[in-house]
Amino acid sequence: METIQLRAYAKINLGLDVLRRRPDGYHEVRMVMQTVGIWDELEFERIGEDVIRISADMQELPVNENNLIYRAVKRMKAMYGIREGVSVRLRKKIPVAAGMAGGSADAAAAIHAVDRLFGLGLSLAEKQAVGVRLGADVPYCLMGGTALAEGIGEVLTALPDTPGARLVVAKPNLNVSTKFVYENLHAERLSRHPDIDGMVESIRKGSLQGVTERMGNVLETVTCRSYPIIGQMKGLLMENGAMNALMSGSGPTVFGVFSEGERARQAYDAMEKSGLARQLFLTEFVGTEGLDERV
């Protein structure tokens, strides 16, 4: 039987602004999304029996309907009348509940895989129409690279690759629920908003300095108050030569951007020594060319 192996890449938010809370409870956002070199490995296989079977190398993860991979495969099967089954093996590397869209990335990989396994020949837009019903970040994860995400995150504008940089990505030993963060955010009371338009302009001009100067995430107003360790970790990255440091998404993962590999390595070592990080990565931005090799 044919098997397909895919990488599902994590993202960070170089900028994250919340404009308002809509009457339906969703938040209107403006975010600059960036793929980074941290990925899950997934293997998909067609099976004769009409079931969806998932195995994962991390015990805490659900392997039933609660796994986004399951929901993605189920929706694809229903939409395209597929009566065969799919088995999926997941090797989890992306920190979980971390603000790195790990579940959404896996769901996107599942949509790509079912499309290929059953020769559906879907366009990106068709895949994104399936993905948006699974989660607001899934349409972005289907394309990857650098993008501006608006609406509730599903209105996407592809941007040129951000200039290359090294990254230190660190998750403290705590889990933060996205729901908690948004519920405790007072969007209408925010006094400062990151300059998302300026950041997009800097990306278009190829200015890494312009990008890092404008890094900002309004969700830090909630998490940094509740979890001081996030501010501590950002401080440590800055002291060790980061151009800037920020929390990704609803956290608690933080990242520092470095123009030089040597500095990034030093900051990585300092973070490791500090014992503040439960998970730690030395990585980089992944551009659209890098993503061509994801299969």
Contact residues for ligand ATP, defined by CB under 6 A? 61-62, 66-69, 96-104, 106, 137, 178, 249-250
Using alpha carbons, select from 16, 77, 85 the residue that is nearest to residue 45. Answer: 85
Nearer to ligand ATP, 149 or 282 (CB): 149
Nearer to ligand ATP, 175 or 209 (CB): 175
**CA distances from residue 62 to 7, 57, 67, 214 in whole angstroms, order as listed:** 20, 11, 5, 37
Distance CA 3, CA 166 (A): 33
Using alpha carbons, select from 197, 231, 225 the residue that is nearest to residue 211. Answer: 197
Smallest gap from Cβ 239 to ligand ATP, in A, equals 26
Smallest gap from Cβ 18 to ligand ATP, in A, equals 14
Smallest gap from Cβ 100 to ligand ATP, in A, equals 5
Measured in degrees and rounded to the nearest 5, phi and psi for residue 162 equal -65, 140
Whether 292 is catalytic: no
Nearer to ligand ATP, 31 or 237 (CB): 31
Q: Which of 11, 127, 171, 234 is catalytic?
A: 11
CB-nearest residue to ligand ATP: 103
Do 292 and 177 meet the contact criterion of CB atoms below 8 Å apart?
A: no
Using alpha carbons, select from 140, 131, 158, 143 the residue that is nearest to residue 249. Answer: 140
Smallest gap from Cβ 110 to ligand ATP, in A, equals 9
Beta-strand pair 52-56/85-91: parallel
Q: Which of 17, 40, 115, 137 is catalytic?
A: 137
Whether 137 is catalytic: yes
Smallest gap from Cβ 198 to ligand ATP, in A, equals 24
Distance CA 232, CA 109 (A): 34
Do 250 and 181 meet the contact criterion of CB atoms below 8 Å apart?
A: yes
For the residues of 186-211, what is the DSSP string, one character each? -GGG------HHHHHHHHHHT-HHHH
Tokens of 291: 């993503």
Distance CA 181, CA 225 (A): 11
Nearer to ligand ATP, 64 or 191 (CB): 64
Smallest gap from Cβ 248 to ligand ATP, in A, equals 7
Nearer to ligand ATP, 106 or 220 (CB): 106
Nearer to ligand ATP, 55 or 209 (CB): 55
* Cβ-based neighbour number of residue 80 at 10 Å: 14
Active-site residue set: 11, 137
